[in-house]
Amino acid sequence: MIRIFHNTSYDFIKWWRHAAVATVVFIMLGVGSYVFRGGVNYSIEFTSGTLMQVRFTKPVDDGELRAALDAGGVDGAEIQRFGDATEYTIRAQNRAEGAAVSDSASTSAVATAIRAALDAKYGAGSYTAERTEVVGPRVGAELRTGAAIAMVLASFVTLVYLAFRFEWRFGLAAVISTAHDVLITLAFIKLFHIEVSLVVVGAILTLLGYSGNDTIIIFDRVRENLRKGRKQPLYDTLNESINETLPRSVLTHTTTMAATLALLLFAGEVLRPFAVVMTFGIFVATFSSIYVASPVLLWIERKFPRAVSDKAQVSRQAALAESAKERPARPAPSGAAPRRATTR
């Protein structure tokens, strides 16, 4: 059996300052993009309007397509080509948004106007509408509120779980690490102008659980090593724990990355934003569990050191006693005096 990254002794923690600088720079780039390039690119699910995916029988020119839509009264439509030059998505905002009568009827009228404009320019049989989504303003507002509530509830449940799973030092470090991942991912979405849809919200929620799980695995090993009662600095214990979980982490992240890359390449346009966000999120979760969560835990332990007689010390003694009980007794050699049990 091939064993990778076995018995390694890398000093991961020493790079924490470089990781902190990279994190701050990336988040500031995202904030700068938000300030100078405008807000988040919400999908039609959140803003209301009409999205139509069309496939033409032959390649068309982007400028001609935009001019045809303008001539048909579909002003300000966003067109996006993907794949070859025959497949486009057309997104048009509902002009009646905010009005009392604006809803599905008016947004459906936008879809009808798009079809009329394409028929007038290219002919009725020159294209196929493969997907049409119509969302009214009221539905868009409800979806936006629901997505925000889902993210808040997911974060709250994660906090509650960490509070019960670990003592507060570990839990606080894990929460900061998870928050780091969400902020970095939001900056990534803004920098690359990724459309925020329900699919992307689902990717962020998935990342929330994935990142927390990755950090918990390393912290579990840290806690086990602390209970062994080794007389070594916490700095070394953190490095040792990360190295011990490195083979498992590499295999898990590699297989998950392979699945998201398969989605990225073959799943099509609908799931591609999910795959893009998750691919980036897996990298960020790996980065934060090593270079954010552990250094933050080290800082908390130094800022708020444990008392000598606290629960952790008691647990170390209990762990030693349990190890002594589980150790198999060696049979005494024939004719030799029985060995006296020693304690460490």
Residue 58 CA: distances (Å) to CA of 34, 334, 335 = 38, 92, 95
The tens place of each residue's pLDDT in the chain, 344 residues long, gives: 556 777 788 888 888 889 999 999 999 998 888 888 877 888 777 777 788 888 888 888 888 888 888 888 877 777 877 767 788 888 887 555 444 444 555 567 788 888 888 888 888 888 888 878 777 666 667 777 887 887 788 777 877 777 677 778 888 888 888 888 888 999 999 998 888 888 888 888 888 888 888 888 888 888 888 887 667 788 888 999 999 988 888 888 889 889 888 888 887 777 888 889 999 999 898 898 889 988 998 898 888 876 654 444 444 455 455 445 544 454 555 544 444 444 33
* Buried-state track 92-113, b at ≥16 Cβ within 10 A, e below 16: bbbbbbeeeebbeebbeebbeb
Burial class (CB in 10 A: 0-12, 13-18, 19+), 223: middle
pTM as predicted: 0.72
